[in-house]
Amino acid sequence: MTATSSDLQTCERVKMLVGGRWETGGSPRLGPVYNPSTGRVLAAVPFCTADEVDRAVQAAAEALPAWAETPVVERARVMFRFRDRIAAHAEELAALVTREHGKTLAEARASVQRGIEMVEFACGVPSLIMGQSLANIARNVDCETIRHPVGVCAGITPFNFPVMVPLWMFPVAIACGNTFVLKPSEKVPLSAVRLGELLMDSGLPEGVFNLVHGDRETVDALLTHPLVRAVSFVGSTDVARHVYETGTRNGKRVQAAGGAKNHLIVMPDADLDQAVGAVQLSAFGCAGERCMAGSVAMPVGRVADDLVERLARVAGSMKVGPTDGGAEVDMGPVITREHLDRVAGYLDIGAREGADVVLDGRATVLPDRDGGFLIGPSVLDRVEPGMQVAREEIFGPVLSVIRVDDLDAALAVGRGCPYGNGASIFTRSGWAARQFKQHFNAGMIGINVGVPAPMAWFPFTGWNGSFFGDLHIQGIESIHFYTQQKMTMTRWFESPRESHHDPVWKTGKG
């Protein structure tokens, strides 16, 4: 079902947070928040006006001086309390992710845990934010660097990880002494609201964290606001480019993670059972709605026929269905009816281009097909690198198979890809693994690992059209992104009234 304007007027409105106060906002523009498993509307999300965004940014700016001067250990203690609250409410958060996004409960739990790890990283900010010092870099001259907060920061997050991706951003930013305005995806705002409630319950001062909702109008209001100093973004490449160009044009520091087309190379010597399982989880986990999904498999040489046959068999046996209510399925729905139609359309595009549709997810027998946004896994074989299904990010459970003769041919396919998030190789050969690690055109590499997504302590290092900016999300780079360095050189001269035997600072005599 498609929500009408009158339907939304009767729905519960999603709350926004401005200056420590929860409110529903006055915007006449509303969007639906669906349960993808059923297709029913859960709530109406208000698309904040530029004036409402301004109030949130102003509240963050007013809270900034006091929070920036709060001792770093006290800021870290807020994060410790926040971490404990998330852990205590982890099952509630996972159920909420499943309800508004459609992930399986196991996937939702794993994403919440990865978010908790990022908060734990932020708890260590006192040691991570320290500067450097060196005495006597010249005669009687000492030098030191100290990291200061950037100021008001904004985060714009996607629909595919409603808890995890926001936690990539605001815990580190706030622990570093900044204030923050979060704009979650309008498709999944409920998880962000719950995170905001738990954060405020952790003793964070009013105005340090603010929450607004909306679409491009809201995003542009943040990107052009003169008081916003830094912007973090995760989403599609087209929007990432817009965020980077608009933000930097308006004098802001920007990190913008975009889309991907990730390649999985299977060598003839690979452990095929392990490789098939890893490719299956990479391509079809989270219904393919993640920027680290393995969407292109590249079997090398003679292994191709066996790999395709096995992948079609295991993917075809996956249980697909609604995920709400704790249903035990292998794969849940995609996010909206429009996205379902888009994903299905790529199967027709692939067939027209000459690919073999080995497994058609549209033919999967699915319960509640008319209500939920459900489609099964699909496998397209004999895809060529120039085909649309090989070049464009589908962001759904569709795996394209490009057959190559050798590793050099696989590396060449990678060089031709405009993206550069991740890639993996499955092999027993150390030489092949080393060549792949050194030369594949991507920022995150897996060796016998299906999804080479880094944990909190390492940066999320996309390349090319997968990332715009200089400092990546996560790891020590996130500390550097949310701080600015100040260097101080100091020289003290001996007073004429002092001597080497009885300096004033030692005797106290004037």
| 230, containing H or E segment | strand 228-234
| Secondary structure (DSSP) of 141-161 | EEEEEEEEE--EEEEE--SS-
CA angle, 223 as apex, 219 and 224 as ends, to 5°? 120
Rounded to whole angstroms, what are the CA distances from 224 to 208, 243, 318? Answer: 20, 10, 46
Q: Judge whether 197 and 19 are in contact, CB under 8 Å.
A: no
Give burial (CB, 10 Å; 0-12/13-18/19+) of 510. Answer: exposed
Joined tokens for residue 161: 């990880």
Q: What sign does the CA torsion over 21, 24, 28, 30 have? A: positive
How many other CB atoms are found less than 10 A from the CB of residue 384?
Answer: 14
Rounded to whole angstroms, what are the CA distances from 262 to 265, 277, 288? Answer: 10, 16, 11
| Secondary structure (DSSP) of 290-307 | STT-EEEEEEBGGGHHHH
Q: Is 48 a catalytic residue?
A: no
For 86, the 3-state DSSP assignment is helix
- Indicate which residue of 153, 176, 286, 291 is catalytic: 291
SS (H, E, C) 446-488: EECCCCCCCCCCCCECCCHHHEECCCCECHHHHHHHCEEEEEE
Measured distance CA(342)–CA(21) in Å, rounded: 39
Q: What sign does the CA torsion over 471, 421, 439, 273 have? A: positive
Joined tokens for residue 133: 């010092």
Measured distance CA(313)–CA(294) in Å, rounded: 18
How many other CB atoms are found less than 10 A from the CB of residue 8?
Answer: 19
Q: Judge whether 335 and 36 are in contact, CB under 8 Å.
A: yes
Query: Burial code of 70-80, b = ≥16 C-beta within 10 A, e = fewer?
Result: eebeebbebbe
Tally of residues, the chain: 510
The one-letter code for the residue type at 306 is D
Cβ-proximal residues to 485 (8 Å cutoff; 6+ apart), any chain: 131, 145, 146, 147, 148
Question: What are the residue numbers of the active site?
Answer: 291
